[in-house]
Amino acid sequence: MDGHKQTIAAVALGLWSAALTIGALRVVLPVYFNSVGVSISKIALLFFLFKLSEIFAPLGVGLTVNRLGYRGVFIGGLAVHSVISCLYLFKGTFALVYLERFARGLIDLPLMSSVYIKHFSLKEDQRFHINMVLGGRDAAKGIGMFLGGILIAFLPAELSILIFGLLTSSATAMAFACLPDLKEEVKTPILKVWGTVDRKIKTLGLARGLLHGAWDAWGIAILPVYLTVVFGLSPALVGAVMMGEHIFHGLSVTLLSRWVNFAWDSRRVLVGCSFLLLPVCFALALPMSVYLFLLLVFLYQFFNSACVVYYNHLKLEFATEEKTSIDLATYSTLSSAFKPIAVFVSGVLAEAMGFHSVFYFSSLLVVLSGLTCLTLPKPVGQAVGVAQPYVRESIALK
């Protein structure tokens, strides 16, 4: 296998194994703690802490990568994932589980994967690799939900989680054997991070964060309750729908990255796809059959995937060679900032005004995301002036 393909394979396996674990925990933890009498509010706090830590993680991980290099941080992140999974064998206090959830959210493997792809993927393959790796992560989350549901039905929760810990341990060993290292020359001072990042990275991250919030507003806490209360679906069917949604989104991102034309003006594509989501959001709020509702959910994911393909491409295009980790960390921070806010606001709206208000709130976030994209600079010279650094890197890797 070529050196760059082996590197991308090791990065993808590490990220996907962690995503399988995260997806499984979305099923294993609620089912287990509900069975032992833990309140719903305490269980919900597990996921809020995970989302909250995702906001703080990117800059911390970015600064660490910027100073220590790519290989050690990626391998260390996978190793910590494995250790946390094994800690569930020791039945500690619920406060310890909170700490474990917060710590797992701090391990920003998508960011680590993105910086690897920026530097170790050939230019002609970079667009596909970033969407394949990150799209595969979403699909892996969905598969993890399914596997987690099966395992918790036959095994104790601790052993179910341990199985995924062994998987990330295997990915850690492969990363240790295969991944090359790279250290960035520019060491960005902590207090100057925000000022050194170009405005277009910040704008792109803000737009992505608003779009991410639009999905999380109804797709995290509201969707399973809505399917249960409004349509009367069983928990098993709700889990199957959420699994299918994640797999469809991940596969759509991967496949669309092969089909879309990146020569088009990315701003116009992002604005267009954002506003195609608008009528779908409004339609989701209307009374309808469960089959039509599910059709709209997957249609939303299709347009959402088209947006994500361009976001994934542009974030690598805008990131600089000298401080890739800092640029992408800023992007990731902004793209995660609205997740807990959207989840909290949607919960308040659903209780105060009804489920339909959540989809209208999601529509507002979609509109704001599209308007933010209008302020992005027009991409120029996408294929000019970028080949030489990759030639240099390819030679260095050999």
pLDDT at 397 over 50: no
Tokens standing for residue 25: 């925990």
What pLDDT, in 10s, does the model give residues 47-68?
Answer: 778 878 888 888 888 888 888 8
Domain ranges of the chain: 3-187+195-397
Model pLDDT, residue 235: 73
Quote the Cα angle for 379-384-388, to 5°: 135
Distance CA 16, CA 31 (A): 23
Q: Span 233-250, mean pLDDT?
A: 84
CATH number for the domain whose boundaries are 3-187+195-397: 1.20.1250.20
DSSP H stretches of helix in 121-234: 123-154, 157-178, 193-196, 199-219, 222-229
Q: Span 163-167, mean pLDDT?
A: 91
261 — pLDDT class (breaks 50, 70, 90) = low
pLDDT at 78 over 90: yes
Distance CA 170, CA 90 (A): 21
Burial (CB < 10 A; 0-12, 13-18, 19+), residue 341, is middle
Q: Residue 180 is which amino acid?
A: P
pLDDT at 245 over 60: yes
Average the pLDDT over each of 18-27, 147-156, 310-319 and give the range with the smallest value: 147-156
Q: Span 388-393, mean pLDDT?
A: 38
Q: Span 32-43, mean pLDDT?
A: 74
What pLDDT, in 10s, does the model give residues 116-142?
Answer: 988 888 777 788 888 889 888 888 988
Distance CA 305, CA 134 (A): 11
DSSP H stretches of helix in the chain: 3-35, 40-68, 70-87, 94-105, 109-120, 123-154, 157-178, 193-196, 199-219, 222-229, 235-259, 266-284, 290-318, 324-336, 339-353, 355-373, 387-397
pLDDT at 394 over 50: no
Averaged pLDDT score across all residues of the chain: 84
